[in-house]
Structure 1
Amino acid sequence: MQLKTNTQLPFGILGLIAPFFLWGTAMVAMKGVIPNTTPLFMAGFRLLPAGILVLIAASIMKRPQPKGWAAWLWIGLFALVDGALFQGFLAEGLVRISAGLGSVMIDSQPLAVALLSGLLFGEIIGLWGSVGLGIGILGISLIGLPDSWIISLLHGDALTLNFSLQGLFEHGQWLMLLAALSMALGTVMIRYVSQYADPVTATGWHMVLGGLPLFALSGMWESQQWVNIDLGGWVALGYSTIFGSAIAYGLFFYFASSGNLTSLSSLTFLTPIFALFFGKLFLSEVLTPIQWIGVSLTLVSIYLINQRQEIAHRLQSIMNQGGTTPDSISPLSETPRLKAGA
């Protein structure tokens, strides 16, 4: 199915895109703070205060609180995987890796979401969705991978490429891959969480519970967490917490609790585009021609994934008019509508 939003929502499609815009800009905000703080403290600061804000908003909205051991068990697992592990791996990885390459690693998670959603919920991605995912991975690779790697690959310089790949996991890339896997698992887990608890309230509690161990570990292993943070740094941290966590997480898991996970997750490809744009605007970062190609491919991938059913229907109609039997493509256009708890 295509990703559909409730037209009565105050933000409409803008609300759907907002989490990825906020995550991308939050990456830029965090980039300038990292040298003046510690990773686990920054990860905890992004979660715990944001979770409290989400819970306050949920209370004002009169959203129900979790009830029963099953609800709290799923929220606890959700907090561990998508809260503590994801933010911890992300923050530790950002210390060791460039923002562009880190974004590539994080935004590889739609592939894992597509596979897990197919296995657990029967979501059918079909031919055009598969093509879109492949193009998306290629696009974010062109955006974030070093140009020298891509040029070496195109020229068949295996020796140079192999030498570059030898240091791939020495600079935090593996941490980013673990963060991407944690985010993918969290995206899938919200379906189970929403069977037992309100998704907005559960999101707030998972951020609170996920932030506590990060602060605890920061207290044990880190020092001078906030001594060197200036006013601008606190503003950046505040933006990352309020907009990049509280609002972004609340919107994302609200949609993920009932929408098509593959379609929603595919919009994650927008995150590096926003990060690159605002990185250029505020940090004077420049896009290379290869990165511009990657941006274009990423936009194409989002269109293919979210319009895959419509594309299949149009092709089926054309083949019917031409007298061709569409049996080979009709299953690709049959994607079941999924509901929370499906």
Structure 2
Amino acid sequence: MELKVKQPQQLLFPLALIAPFFLWGTAMVAMKGVIPNTTPLFLGGMRILPAGILVLIFGIILKRPQPKGWLAWGWLSLFALVDGALFQGFLAEGLVRTGAGIGSVMIDTQPLTVALLSSILFSDRVRKIGWLGLGFGVLGVSLIGLPEQWILQGLQGNFTGLEFEISRLFDSGEWLMLLASLSMATGTILIRYVCRHVDSVMATGWHLILGGIPLFFLSGSLETQQWQNISFDGWLAISYATIFGSAIAYGIFFYLASTRNLTSFSSLTFLTPVFALLFGNLLLAETLSPLQWVGVSLTLVSIYLINQREKLSHVLQNLQTQKKLNFEQLKGEKTRKSEG
């Protein structure tokens, strides 16, 4: 009996699929210690502009074509504004003004927006199982990031004071996280249009550079003491977030997003807070509550349902067809017996 050995590509591809979300999650952990020692707009610029330069150098080494024509640069500029400047700006400002937990909940609900837009624009079939999976994902991320007191009060039907707490969300910066989520979702949709005119690698590099320029400009105009208080460990954290959390993660993400089903691929975003929590537990001794572990489990179930929705839908359809045939066969047998 011959053993079938998987090709290296078959083994590496699943790793490539989850790599951006692993890198984004661990980059969030790396950035936690440096946030109090710098300013948000400067931090946002440092995360993407140097990363864009690295991606461009990589693209030039690979001899990837540069953008040509006003249409290519027009799409690229829009992409840079939305997914570069707006997303990183809202994210950095939001991290300063709110907790990472509730912020990650709002950011990582963006697959719902992607699913809705891609079903309209690209005719991606979400199916009932896919929507069920997206619902599980939002529920799982909510259990991971929302305050446990809110969840327990809601389950007990006690909503006293919750209205006040929820209203405070928009006074403490969570609305910025929501805007970051919408920017990321729109950027994921835009990459399809951008890559019709620009090479995916060069588009990634240029959009990070063009998106970082206004962040540095605003930082220079509105902020002070951007880097004076950053320690050596802080610069290492920024370097990790720039190289791994931006250059490599964005390069892989937008290359795959330009070629794969957007609903399935963007659903993997639900993994980001899972990785952030797990590595926060390992490296920063942050513990997970039982509710958060339930949230992690629901998140994994969500990703399975969304990515296997076509296969599961066919299985359910076949079961329903078989059930209908069995019913008709049983009905026919009863009819024949009654006639006999």
For normalisation by structure 2, the TM-score amounts to 0.92
CA distance in 1, matches of 2:215, 2:191: 21
**What are the residue-to-residue correspondences of 1:178-189 with 2, within 5 Å?**
178-189=179-190
**What are the residue-to-residue correspondences of 1:165-176 with 2, within 5 Å?**
165-176=166-177
TM-superposed CA distance for 1:11, in Å, is: 2.7
TM-superposed CA distance for 1:7, in Å, is: 7.5
State whether residues 79 and 209 of structure 1, in contact with CA within 8 Å, keep that contact through their aligned partners in structure 2: yes
Amino acid in the other structure paired with 1:139: G
CA distance in 2, matches of 1:135, 1:124: 18
1:242-282: CA deviations, max 9, x gaps? 00000000000000001100101000000000000011111
**What are the residue-to-residue correspondences of 1:1-342 with 2, within 5 Å?**
8=9, 11-324=12-325
1:172-209: CA deviations, max 9, x gaps? 10000000000000000000000101111101000000
TM-superposed CA distance for 1:321, in Å, is: 2.9
TM-superposed CA distance for 1:9, in Å, is: 7.4
CA distance in 2, matches of 1:322, 1:194: 46
CA distance in 2, matches of 1:302, 1:317: 23
CA distance in 1, matches of 2:254, 2:24: 14
Helix, strand or coil for the counterpart of 2:161?
Answer: helix
- Identity value in percent: 66
Amino acid in the other structure paired with 2:116: L
TM-superposed CA distance for 1:19, in Å, is: 0.1
Cα distance change on mapping 1:307 and 1:9 into 2, 3 Å: closer
TM-superposed CA distance for 1:60, in Å, is: 1.2
Helix, strand or coil for the counterpart of 1:196?
Answer: coil
Amino acid in the other structure paired with 2:262: L
Helix, strand or coil for the counterpart of 1:63?
Answer: coil
CA distance in 1, matches of 2:318, 2:254: 35
CA distance in 1, matches of 2:11, 2:215: 34
TM-superposed CA distance for 1:61, in Å, is: 1.4
CA distance in 2, matches of 1:270, 1:264: 11
Helix, strand or coil for the counterpart of 1:234?
Answer: helix
Match for residue 3 of structure 1?
none
Amino acid in the other structure paired with 2:275: F
1:77-107: CA deviations, max 9, x gaps? 0000000000000000000111111111110
State whether residues 54 and 203 of structure 1, in contact with CA within 8 Å, keep that contact through their aligned partners in structure 2: yes
State whether residues 152 and 160 of structure 1, in contact with CA within 8 Å, keep that contact through their aligned partners in structure 2: no
Gapped regions of structure 1 (runs ≥ 5): 1-5, 326-342
CA distance in 2, matches of 1:124, 1:264: 13
> RMSD of the alignment, in Å?
1.4
State whether residues 96 and 172 of structure 1, in contact with CA within 8 Å, keep that contact through their aligned partners in structure 2: yes
CA distance in 2, matches of 1:272, 1:232: 23
Q: Which moves more between the two structures, 206-215 or 114-123? A: 114-123
CA distance in 2, matches of 1:324, 1:214: 63
TM-superposed CA distance for 1:323, in Å, is: 3.5
TM-superposed CA distance for 1:12, in Å, is: 1.2
Cα distance change on mapping 1:86 and 1:7 into 2, 3 Å: farther
CA distance in 2, matches of 1:268, 1:78: 19
1:260-317: CA deviations, max 9, x gaps? 0010100000000000001111111111111111011000000000000000111222
Amino acid in the other structure paired with 1:57: F
Helix, strand or coil for the counterpart of 1:195?
Answer: coil
Amino acid in the other structure paired with 1:39: P
Helix, strand or coil for the counterpart of 1:64?
Answer: coil
TM-superposed CA distance for 1:224, in Å, is: 0.8
TM-superposed CA distance for 1:150, in Å, is: 0.5
Matched positions, count:
320
CA distance in 2, matches of 1:153, 1:138: 13
TM-superposed CA distance for 1:322, in Å, is: 3.0
CA distance in 2, matches of 1:296, 1:9: 26
Amino acid in the other structure paired with 1:148: Q
Gapped regions of structure 2 (runs ≥ 5): 1-6, 327-340
Amino acid in the other structure paired with 1:91: A
CA distance in 1, matches of 2:57, 2:325: 58
Match for residue 334 of structure 2?
none
TM-superposed CA distance for 1:35, in Å, is: 0.3
CA distance in 2, matches of 1:205, 1:223: 27
CA distance in 1, matches of 2:268, 2:50: 26
For normalisation by structure 1, the TM-score amounts to 0.91
CA distance in 2, matches of 1:65, 1:73: 14
